[in-house]
Amino acid sequence: MTEARYGIGIDTGGTYTDGALINLADQTVVATAKSATTHFDLSHGIALCLRDLFINSEIKPADIDLVAVSTTLATNAVVESKGDRVGLIVAGYARPLDLPVVSTLFVEGGHTLQGDEERPLDLDAVVRAVSELKGNVESYVVCSAMSIKNPAHEQVMAKAVSMIDPLPVFMSHEVSSRVGVADRAATAVLNARLRPVMESFLLGMQDALVTLGIARRVMIIRGDATAMDIVDTHRQAASTVASGPAATAWFGLSFAPAPDAVIIDIGGTTTDITMIKDGKPTLTEDGSLIGKWQTHVDAVKMSTVGAGGDSHALVDRYNKLQVGPDRVLPLSMAAATSPADWLGAGLKSRLVTIAPDLTEEQAKHDPILEFLFKSGPQTPEMLKEEFGMGESLLASHIRELVKGQLAFETGFTPTDALHVLAEIELGDVGSALAGATVLGAELGLSPEAFAREVLDQLSRKIEVAVLDHILAIETGKTLSAFYPDYRNNDVIAMDFRVKLPFVGIGAVSKYILPQVAERLGTTVVFPDHYEVGNALGAILMASTS
């Protein structure tokens, strides 16, 4: 009798790391697990999830033949504007490029459609460009006109850059073979920008697997619903931007009640939306839109909105409730001081805490970190008074500290709202209730009414995102661009009915999607193991590739 062999799917999201262990022979689920994503050390959260899978199943690491990984870390990094500071040098193309870079510098050079040199590369200008960017960037992208026909100018620029400033250099012809300088540059820039996110993830995954003695094949899910060897990840980071949605789509393929359906994954940081039609994922035809940038990355057609279980719910200075797109640690999950002691509107809406593994010596390199180390957690309001900084500068500084995992922020979230309404009991209900009491009072609402408002705003953001996604596929246009805030207009009332069923993924989804489905006149199903749907989708996809 042949010994049973097993596979593991791991989905590392911005908030949680999910796992699913299956029997590869019949694809039955043997065990599932969920742990917090530990951004300061990704291997720790991954190892905890893997450990729980083995504990829950009694399967041994030596029995694992395949590990498949999906992740929304790249997606979240784009949404939250995280990643390397990138310098872009372009040869033979001088039109403005709106890209997430420190600076774009143009030089003479480039090739014709046939690959012949159109103008000699101005190497002196390249040297000046690097000298200007040096010290202000963490990686470089070089892009030359028609480098897909002749990459010589990109290769020379990359060599020159590395000789002057030995930082990672990405060449556009290596990430795309399609015509279009602007889109190819965007693809390369996003690969460069996401490099540290994916390198950290790769090292964390490898450390966790080695520690547990798993040395079998490890694949990562690409956005186009194919799998690649995980060692290629750090150079092709942008191809994983839709990794989570690709696994989402595959889970939907496996468990949707109809060949056409909308698959909605509500995570801690974002909500990802994909569709299946005729039993297949819908794929982009000319590359995907990542953030606001058109790229040459092939991927499932997906939409991502900065709205999830851990989205920051705050009352702004104008006494308006906002939910997302920033993610914070929920009050119910934080070992912080009582929210009644610090929480409020505006700059009092979040608490900044130094990372738990940061030493006093490390904190001395930044005045805010040093102050946090000595004085304990502080709100931005407290930090503003202490340092006399402007709000924009302070917000940017805190964002950089959080991006570097040197600090984290705590605030009220939809997860806390669910605690207030007794829907879940995963953490400290008292802290969630205290937060809802304080913020509700700002709006003249009871804690319960405030919690319902938070969940309602989250569901309506997801509703608009779902409609936008469907309309974009069907018409090429979106509702939010044509008619923003359509449900609150005093003159025209609009209602929509979606004819496709929803498939929900993510632990929070069962508390949010029924209301969205009801308003849109459709139904929603939550298949077995929907809480770890992406992890299960990842291993199901990889095992059939």
Annotate 79-102 with three-state secondary structure: HCCCCCCEEEEEECCCCCCCCCCC
Q: Which band of pLDDT confidence, cut at 50, 70 and 90, is reported for residue 16? A: confident
Are 14 and 268 a contacting pair, CB within 8 Å? yes
Whether residue 2 is predicted with pLDDT greater than 60 in this model: the reply is: no
pLDDT in tens, 408-445: 999 999 999 999 999 988 889 999 999 999 999 999 99
Whether residue 227 is predicted with pLDDT greater than 60 in this model: the reply is: yes
DSSP assignments along 322-335, one per residue: EEEEEE-EEGGG--
Task: Give the single-character DSSP code of 62.
Answer: G
Strands 28-36 and 16-23: antiparallel
pLDDT in tens, 381-403: 999 999 988 888 999 899 888 87
Are 357 and 408 a contacting pair, CB within 8 Å? no
Tell me, what's the pLDDT at 483?
73
Q: Which band of pLDDT confidence, cut at 50, 70 and 90, is reported for residue 310? A: very high
Percent share of the chain, pLDDT over 70 = 92
- Distance between CA 170 and CA 490 in Å, rounded? 51
* Residue 543 CB contacts under 8 Å (≥ 6 apart), including other chains: 7, 22, 24, 27, 66, 68
Pick the more confident residue, 188 or 452: 452
Instruction: Show the tokens assigned to 91.
Output: 């040869």
Are 90 and 104 a contacting pair, CB within 8 Å? yes
Torsion of CA 81, 87, 90, 94, to 10 degrees: 70
Are 175 and 296 a contacting pair, CB within 8 Å? yes
Task: Report the residue count for the chain.
Answer: 545
- Distance between CA 110 and CA 146 in Å, rounded? 7
Distances (CA, A) of 422 to 276, 314, 394, 416, 531: 34, 21, 36, 10, 19
Are 384 and 391 a contacting pair, CB within 8 Å? yes
Instruction: Show the tokens assigned to 66.
Output: 């395949």
Place of tokens 């989570």: 244
pLDDT in tens, 448-504: 999 999 999 999 999 999 999 898 888 888 777 777 777 677 787 778 899 999 999
Are 267 and 533 a contacting pair, CB within 8 Å? no
For 285, the 3-state DSSP assignment is coil
The mean per-residue pLDDT over the stretch 515-542 comes to 94
pTM equals 0.78
pLDDT in tens, 44-99: 788 889 899 999 888 888 889 999 988 766 766 776 677 789 999 999 988 888 88
The mean per-residue pLDDT over the stretch 147-174 comes to 93
- Distance between CA 179 and CA 99 in Å, rounded? 18
Strands 217-221 and 64-71: parallel
- Distance between CA 262 and CA 517 in Å, rounded? 11
Q: Which band of pLDDT confidence, cut at 50, 70 and 90, is reported for residue 1? A: very low
First to last CA, the chain: 25
Whether residue 312 is predicted with pLDDT greater than 60 in this model: the reply is: yes
The mean per-residue pLDDT over the stretch 518-541 comes to 94
Tell me, what's the pLDDT at 88?
95
The mean per-residue pLDDT over the stretch 345-356 comes to 92
- Mean of all residue pLDDT scores within the chain: 87
Q: Which band of pLDDT confidence, cut at 50, 70 and 90, is reported for residue 216? A: confident
Tell me, what's the pLDDT at 429?
93
Whether residue 242 is predicted with pLDDT greater than 80 in this model: the reply is: no
The mean per-residue pLDDT over the stretch 128-150 comes to 93
Alpha carbon 14 to its chain centroid, in Å, reads 6
Place of tokens 């606001």: 292
Pick the more confident residue, 303 or 2: 303
Q: Which band of pLDDT confidence, cut at 50, 70 and 90, is reported for residue 368? A: very high
* Residue 390 CB contacts under 8 Å (≥ 6 apart), including other chains: none
Whether residue 189 is predicted with pLDDT greater than 80 in this model: the reply is: yes
Alpha carbon 58 to its chain centroid, in Å, reads 32
Distances (CA, A) of 34 to 20, 49, 56, 201, 530: 9, 6, 11, 17, 12
Pick the more confident residue, 204 or 290: 204
Least confident of 4-13, 74-83, 196-205: 74-83
- Distance between CA 32 and CA 357 in Å, rounded? 29
pLDDT in tens, 268-304: 888 889 899 998 888 877 766 666 666 666 778 888 8
Question: For residue 183, which phi and psi values (nearest 5 degrees)?
Answer: -70, -35
